Structure 1
Amino acid sequence: MATLVTKPQKAGSPRIAEVVQAKSAEFNWIFFVVIAAFHVGAVAALFTFYWSSVVVFLVMWLFGQNVGIAISYHRQLTHRSFTTPKWLEYAMAVCGTMALQGSPTYWVSVHRMHHQYTDKPGDPHSPRDGKWWSHMGWILRGSLHSETTTLAHYAPDLERDRFYRWLAVWHWLPITLTGIALLGGGTALGGWKLGLSWLLWGTFLRITIGFHTTWLVNSATHLWGSRRFKTRDDSTNNWWVALLTGGEGWHNNHHAHPVSASHGMAWWELDFNYWGIKLLAMLGLAKNVKVAHLTAMPAEPTTPLNL
């Protein structure tokens, strides 16, 4: 792992700090308390079962994980695999904030950094630095969370957008308002027990499972699975991670062709997130959809986007 580096530029130009991941001497107790609280809430949810709560969970999962994280944060904002009208782009980004994985600017910056340094010194979450580190250790002891201003240099396109600058500050607001709405709506329809169940299932249980499914892409898909492309990293195609994430587990395909909106390439590599993008395209809401096929040339080197 590496640390904060300042790279000299051309003569007379300011020096630009390039931030890469390092293990911090300080344990991030704030993140630990938040993550632990959501895990406690997730366990509590199992004791408040209602079928309507399962429906709430599934609907919130669809919008938070599939639309928000996979389609918006990952495939649209990080890799620019397709374009949509701005109102839809913003709406899907708001869905991403409800996964509690940070603002679009933060998430995109970390993931672009991952592609730049994949499984090399500076990768935010490589299993080469430890399996536990790649799954969630980097969240609790990584130095990136204290370097948010410099980290944003990896997402200049978002930094130029007033809406994303606003969301970088207020990304906690949508999930807070949604939680209040679930508690209030459930209580109004069936009493406080139903309201509490909706809150626990639609927020705490969903977000906790969402944490681990996203982290499995960081850890498991660089440890176990098959490799179709000879990329310069340890990325693999992992079928069970793909099922859990709606298609993100076809990670070797993704690292070989990072700009492709489709991660599943063979007919049996189910990619529900790409199907969502195809649906938007059929409705005329997604354009410039980039897709790599198995008949394409050998794997593209993973390089940072030029934005």
Structure 2
Amino acid sequence: MPTTPPSPTHATGWRRPLQALALWFDTGAAPVEDGRDPDRIDWLRVLPFVGLHLACLGVVWVGFSWFALGTAVALYAARMFAITGFYHRYFSHKAFRTSRPVQFVFALVGAASVQRGPLWWAAHHRHHHRHADTEHDVHSPRHGFLHSHMGWFLTRRSFRTDLDSVRDLARFPELRLLDRYDILVPVLLATGLFGLGAWLETAFPGLGTNGPQLLVWGFFVSTVVLFHVTVTINSLAHRWGSRRFATRDDSRNNALLALLTFGEGWHNNHHHFPGSARQGFAWWELDLTYLGLRALAALGLVSDLRPVPAALRNVRREPA
């Protein structure tokens, strides 16, 4: 006598936790297709992201040292530059040229930011520019502030890397490796910080640091601040600020966000001409990422920084 096949719910119930665990380590693992809404937060999948935030509470137990704070600030700056200069302006927009080794080094630093891999980041950002502030833009504030800030990042739909959008990058196996195993570099960074702190506690006790302290401040606190400052460009920079150009989206220029994100806050400028290596179009619009790229160009590590065409600087001005 034939048996009744198990329902999809029962068939996938025990597989979902195992699949979520696999996806923590290997984003290439096939997700369970169980008919759930792809735009809902996948709580099993995002437990490490939640844990990242909760770990910041460890400052209560590990205490403070100037060395730990300095490490947090330095790692914020280095990883912010890798995200803004390379994940964004290079991988997403090809705003300059560089060699394959330099490309990989900054992809590695960007991967340490816990903002997923370079292919994933570029694919989502290119999609954003194709559909900015429309129903297809998954992180437009028109869909709600919290969703635009981080909710979209946690949904099943947004975990996938659209390789068709980044075929120019997908031909590099080292970038595909960083993208697929995007937890690898953050784990190595966290482990290295703990080890460094443990060594400094013995070798240089005057610094007042140790393994747990350097891990909490240098990795957890620095990474969480870096993430939330980065995504303000999705949420706040499409809500608050001024509009120099009449773009087809809601992008704004915001000086405070530009300072915190090393120039990304000149967001209306960027949407006016996304291909420029410089987002602070005016002399007074501080763009630290562009200054960093200029320094790399002087060292011969990058080249052909794309300028803003003169014809585009004064066209389509937003009406007063």
Counterpart CA distance in 2 for 1:44 and 1:77 is 35
Counterpart CA distance in 1 for 2:118 and 2:245 is 29
Alpha-carbon deviations, 1:3-55, whole Å to 9, x = none?
Answer: xxxxxxxxxxxxxxxxxxxx736431135422221112223236521111112
The equivalent of 1:69 in structure 2 is 83
Asked whether 1:106 is paired with 2:120, we answer: yes
Counterpart CA distance in 1 for 2:177 and 2:315 is 37
Kindly report structure 1 stretches of 4+ aligned residues shifted beyond 6 Å: none
The equivalent of 2:180 in structure 1 is 169
Counterpart CA distance in 2 for 1:141 and 1:86 is 32
Asked whether 1:82 is paired with 2:96, we answer: yes
2:255 is matched with which residue: 236, 239, 251?
239
What residue identity is the alignment partner of 1:36? V
SS of the aligned residue for 1:109 comes to helix
| Stretches of structure 2 lacking an aligned partner (at least 5 in a row) | 1-36, 203-207
The equivalent of 1:125 in structure 2 is 139
What residue identity is the alignment partner of 2:51? A
The equivalent of 1:12 in structure 2 is none
The equivalent of 1:7 in structure 2 is none
Counterpart CA distance in 2 for 1:214 and 1:46 is 25
Larger-Rg structure? 2
Q: CA deviation at 1:185?
A: 1.1
What residue identity is the alignment partner of 1:165? R
Alpha-carbon deviations, 1:131-155, whole Å to 9, x = none?
Answer: 111111112335221x43xx12111
What residue identity is the alignment partner of 1:24? P
C-alpha change, 1:295 and 1:42, in structure 2 (3 Å) is farther
User: Is contact 2:41-2:151 (8 Å) kept?
Assistant: no
The equivalent of 1:212 in structure 2 is 228
Q: CA deviation at 1:235?
A: 0.3
Q: CA deviation at 1:298?
A: 5.2
User: Is contact 2:141-2:235 (8 Å) kept?
Assistant: yes
Counterpart CA distance in 1 for 2:147 and 2:40 is 15
The equivalent of 1:34 in structure 2 is 48
The equivalent of 1:304 in structure 2 is none
The equivalent of 2:69 in structure 1 is 54
2:293 is matched with which residue: 256, 277, 283?
277
Counterpart CA distance in 2 for 1:209 and 1:232 is 30
C-alpha change, 1:49 and 1:299, in structure 2 (3 Å) is farther
Alpha-carbon deviations, 1:228-249, whole Å to 9, x = none?
Answer: 1110100000111111111111
Counterpart CA distance in 1 for 2:39 and 2:283 is 47
C-alpha change, 1:71 and 1:25, in structure 2 (3 Å) is closer
Alpha-carbon deviations, 1:93-129, whole Å to 9, x = none?
Answer: 1000011000101000000000000001211200111
Q: CA deviation at 1:171?
A: 2.6
User: Number of residue pairs matched?
Assistant: 275
Asked whether 1:201 is paired with 2:217, we answer: yes
C-alpha change, 1:46 and 1:109, in structure 2 (3 Å) is farther
Asked whether 1:261 is paired with 2:272, we answer: no
Counterpart CA distance in 1 for 2:106 and 2:87 is 8
Q: CA deviation at 1:295?
A: 6.1
User: Is contact 2:89-2:277 (8 Å) kept?
Assistant: yes
C-alpha change, 1:104 and 1:123, in structure 2 (3 Å) is same
SS of the aligned residue for 1:143 comes to helix
Counterpart CA distance in 2 for 1:39 and 1:259 is 34
Counterpart CA distance in 1 for 2:230 and 2:301 is 26
Structure 1 range deviating more: 94-103 or 166-175? 166-175
Counterpart CA distance in 2 for 1:168 and 1:178 is 16
C-alpha change, 1:25 and 1:241, in structure 2 (3 Å) is closer
Alpha-carbon deviations, 1:32-89, whole Å to 9, x = none?
Answer: 42222111222323652111111211221122111x2111100111100011121111
RMSD of aligned residue pairs (Cα, Å): 2.1
The equivalent of 1:182 in structure 2 is 193
